[in-house]
């Protein structure tokens, strides 16, 4: 099987034009098959507020009413996605900017209302990703750049968590490729001490993860990301790397960086 990287970037890269420039330059230098996934919540919030549309968040999750959906569709699929694609073309990456609706690549289900109505938010399941169609795109030497939007197959766009999209893509494509999922964020990786950047934990397997949770070294906001990562590994992904975006060039050099999660 050929290797494939699914790389997710967040606000710390997207919100800073200099960070984005160097990241996309390093991303282009990585050889072989790759897919980029991005969010853009902070910019969507800023533009929404400039239009008089206030963001509503519950436990860090965005409530997506119809006005907010219009904003995130414009910002994620338009402003951010096309800027990223234009920059990638500049560096020689033949990128194609996508939502889940394009090519029916990612079909989600609207999140059911329980205690909170999240609005037009999409949840993914096993059959959400059309891996065969995405593989054809990758084999044709395109580099897919997915934003955090999916569709329901019935004409409705849905706002969907970018971490979840990246994980679902890596799992679905693991039937065709040896997939590695890379989450880029502002820290060097998973840290023993959140206030000490040099306390990086280089490798974590499920047993070590249980120990780190038990001693509350990993807690709160990091838990969903880690749970997602180990679920991806259990479902065919070779490894998950959590690390800093400015170290992505180490993938080309085949040097370790960040925290590597494996079975």
Q: Which positions make up the binding site for substrate? A: 40-41, 62, 159
d(CA 261, CA 157): 33
Report residue 238 as tokens. 């070779």
Report residue 256 as tokens. 């370790």
d(CA 40, CA 195): 26
β-bridge pairing 3-9 and 178-185: parallel
CB neighbours (10 Å) of residue 255? 9
Annotated binding site: 40-41, 62, 159
- CA atoms in the 13 A half-sphere facing the CB of 253: 8
Chain centre to alpha carbon of residue 164: 7
């Amino acid at each position: 099987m050929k290797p494939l990287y699914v790389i997710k970037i967040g606000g710390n890269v997207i919100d800073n034009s200099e960070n984005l420039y160097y990241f996309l330059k390093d991303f282009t230098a990585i050889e072989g098959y790759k897919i980029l996934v991005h969010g853009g919540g902070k910019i969507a919030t800023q533009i929404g507020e400039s239009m008089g549309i206030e963001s509503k968040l519950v436990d860090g999750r965005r409530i997506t009413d119809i006005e907010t959906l219009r904003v995130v569709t414009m910002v994620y699929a338009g402003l951010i996605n096309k800027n990223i694609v234009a920059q990638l073309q500049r560096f020689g990456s033949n990128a194609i900017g996508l939502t889940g609706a394009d090519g029916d690549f990612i079909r989600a289900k609207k999140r059911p209302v329980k205690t909170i109505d999240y609005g037009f938010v999409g949840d993914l399941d096993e059959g959400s990703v059309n891996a065969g169609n995405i593989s054809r795109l990758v084999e044709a030497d395109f580099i897919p750049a997915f934003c955090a939007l999916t569709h329901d197959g019935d004409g409705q766009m849905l706002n969907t968590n970018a971490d979840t999209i990246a994980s679902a893509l890596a799992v679905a494509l693991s039937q065709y490729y040896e997939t590695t999922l890379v989450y880029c964020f502002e820290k060097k990786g998973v840290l023993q001490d959140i206030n000490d950047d040099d306390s990086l934990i280089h490798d974590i397997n499920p047993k070590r993860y249980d120990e780190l949770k038990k001693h509350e070294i990993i807690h709160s906001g990091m838990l969903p990301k880690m749970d997602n990562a180990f679920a991806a590994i259990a479902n065919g992904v070779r490894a998950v790397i959590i690390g800093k975006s400015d170290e992505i060039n180490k993938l080309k050099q085949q040097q370790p960086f960040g925290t590597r999660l494996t079975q």
